[in-house]
């Protein structure tokens, strides 16, 4: 069994069973997710890596799967966990996914009720969930379970075939600013001081990331797992602005195992005292030129609806919204 997944107490509808997941179930969970959202494929490695990232003493996590009793086929799964970047021991993110061919049998509600029972047993005060705005069934389920919309987010895509290389901004040493634009590949991704400086930038700039919960800094080990330990880590695609001995701005590109022609734009952030100087725009420009020069077809990124400055940068670059996500919260009374 996967660690952190004790047996559920909630009985499943007739013909199905809830149970803790096994290592071999990652393939089935991937299949369920792919059938639900074929335009957003994930790999078993991504499921495994997320479980690995959450493997920390202070983070609670629990998964379960729905198995069809007669065939042993996994037709759904659920998860509850403390989010490492908005950590609050009394608030939990919750996820439920049921194969489209097994919907309308009460399985989703059964999984959700079991996970809420677990949360209440841990004296949780709130649950967080996310659904696609275009998925009407999920939006209705979201509302029936008691979630209230708190904010929205966008997943966007840039077709690199339509991009005309832009004239460069400051390069080398920025005039009058003492800034060097470089990459983690050039800095040395194996060097501990490079990793520590990137961690400090990520932690400090990440305090202003818009989210449902209060942003928190992950541990150094969690940061290494999420960034340097990612199968999509691309050190030549992590662009940083260096002032003196400090990294003051960054943007990062990650390979997508399920979409080899696509790179995903991960965290982009700038220290407060260096904002408004065009550093993030220049790093974004360099990342787009990098991806296009290496033959990638697309860039994807996520954007919170309340982060207008970053959306403005993405819009200027040509990103177009693909999915609108509704982020909601449910308060739990004692």
Mean pLDDT, range 19-37, rounded to an integer: 93
Which one of 99, 124, 149 terminates a domain?
124
**Please, which residues have CB within 8 angstroms of residue 240's CB and are 6 or more apart in sequence?**
181, 182, 183, 184, 187, 198, 201, 247, 249, 250, 283
Note whether residue 76 is domain-resident: yes
Q: How many helices (H) and strands (E) does the chain have?
A: 9, 12
Q: Does residue 318 sit within a domain? A: yes
According to the model, what pLDDT value does residue 67 have?
96
CB neighbours of 330 closer than 8 A, spacing ≥ 6? 126, 127, 129, 145, 146, 147, 148
pLDDT at 244: 93
> How much of the chain, in percent, has pLDDT values that exceed 70?
93
Is the pLDDT confidence value at 64 over 90? Answer: yes
pLDDT of 37 reads: 92
Spatial CA neighbour of 71 closest among 104, 127, 28, 38:
28
Question: Do 222 and 114 have their domain in common?
Answer: no
> What is the mean pLDDT of the segment spanning 53-63?
88
pLDDT number for residue 249: 97
Mean pLDDT score across all residues of the chain: 90
Are 271 and 216 within one domain? yes
Question: 272 and 169, same structural domain?
Answer: yes
Query: What pLDDT, on a 0 to 100 scale, did the predictor assign at position 165?
Result: 64
29 lies in some domain: yes
Please state, as a whole number, how many other Cβ atoms lie within 10 Å of the Cβ of residue 327: 19
**Looking at the structure, do residues 171 and 297 belong to the same domain, yes or no?**
yes
Domain-ending residue, one of 124, 149, 173: 124
Q: What percentage of the chain has pLDDT greater than the value 90?
A: 67
Do 77 and 178 lie in one domain? The reply is: no
**Does the pLDDT at position 44 exceed 70?**
yes
94 assigned to some structural domain:
yes
- Check residue 175 and give its pLDDT: 43
Q: What is the pLDDT of residue 171?
A: 45
Threshold 0.95, pTM exceeds? no
Measured distance CA(87)–CA(265) in Å, rounded:
23
pLDDT at residue 225, as a whole number: 87
- Residue 189, pLDDT above cutoff 60: yes
Same domain, 119 and 162: no
Mark whether 182 and 246 lie in a shared domain.
yes
Residues 78 and 215 in one domain: no
Strand partners, 95: 79
Among 199, 200, 264, CA closest to 231: 264
Considering the domain boundaries, does residue 63 fall inside one? yes
User: What pLDDT shows up at residue 305?
Assistant: 77
The domain total for the chain is 2
More confident residue, 219 or 5: 219
The answer to whether residue 260 is domain-embedded is: yes
What pLDDT is attached to residue 177?
65
pLDDT at 208: 81
Task: At 195, list the tokens.
Answer: 């990793």
Among residues 124, 142, 170, the one where a domain terminates is 124
Q: What is the CATH number of the domain that holds 104?
A: 3.40.630.30
Whether 232 has a pLDDT exceeding 50, the answer reads yes
Range of the domain at 318: 157-324
Q: What is the pLDDT of residue 9?
A: 67
255-280 average pLDDT score: 92
When pLDDT is cut at 50, 70 and 90, the band that residue 10 belongs to is low
Asked if 107 and 174 sit in the same domain, the reply is no
Residue 137 placed within a domain:
no
Does any domain span residue 316? yes
Query: What are the start-end ranges of the E strands in 118-244?
Result: 126-132, 148-159, 179-183, 233-243
For residues 168 and 33, membership in a common domain is answered with no
Q: Torsions phi, psi of 298, nearest 5?
A: -140, 155
Claim to verify: residue 197 and residue 282 sit in the same structural domain: yes
- Residue 161 shares a structural domain with residue 88: no
Lowest-confidence pick of 8-17, 76-85, 314-323:
8-17
The two three-digit tokens of residue 324, written as one number: 């609108």
């Amino acid at each position: 069994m996967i660690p952190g997944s004790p047996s559920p107490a909630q009985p499943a509808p007739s013909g199905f069973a809830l149970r803790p997941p096994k290592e071999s179930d990652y393939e089935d969970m991937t299949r369920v997710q792919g059938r639900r959202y074929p335009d957003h494929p994930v790999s078993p490695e991504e499921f495994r890596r997320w479980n690995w990232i959450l493997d920390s003493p202070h983070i609670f996590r629990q998964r379960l799967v729905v198995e069809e009793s007669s065939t042993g086929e996994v037709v759904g799964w659920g998860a509850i966990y403390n989010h490492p970047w908005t950590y609050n021991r009394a608030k939990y993110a919750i996820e439920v996914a049921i194969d489209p061919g097994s919907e309308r049998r009460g399985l989703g509600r059964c999984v959700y009720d079991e996970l809420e029972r677990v949360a209440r047993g841990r004296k949780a005060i709130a649950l967080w969930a996310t659904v696609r705005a275009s998925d009407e069934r999920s939006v209705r389920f979201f509302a029936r379970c008691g979630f209230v919309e708190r904010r929205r987010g966008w997943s966007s895509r840039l077709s690199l075939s339509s991009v005309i290389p832009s004239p460069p901004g400051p390069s080398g040493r920025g005039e009058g600013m003492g800034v060097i634009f470089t990459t983690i590949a050039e800095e040395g991704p194996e060097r501990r001081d490079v990793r520590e400086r990137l961690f400090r930038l990520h932690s400090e700039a990440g305090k202003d990331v818009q989210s449902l919960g209060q942003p928190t800094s992950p541990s150094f080990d969690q940061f290494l797992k999420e960034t340097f330990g990612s199968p999509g880590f691309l050190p030549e695609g992590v662009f940083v602005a260096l002032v003196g001995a400090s990294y003051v701005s960054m943007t990062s590109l990650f390979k997508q195992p399920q979409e080899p022609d696509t790179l995903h734009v991960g965290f982009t952030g700038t220290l407060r005292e260096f904002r408004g100087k065009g550093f993030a725009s220049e790093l974004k420009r360099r990342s787009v030129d990098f991806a296009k020069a290496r033959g990638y077809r697309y860039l994807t990124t996520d954007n919170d609806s309340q982060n207008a400055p970053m959306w403005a940068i993405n819009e200027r670059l040509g990103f177009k919204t693909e999915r609108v996500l509704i982020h909601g919260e449910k308060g739990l009374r004692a």
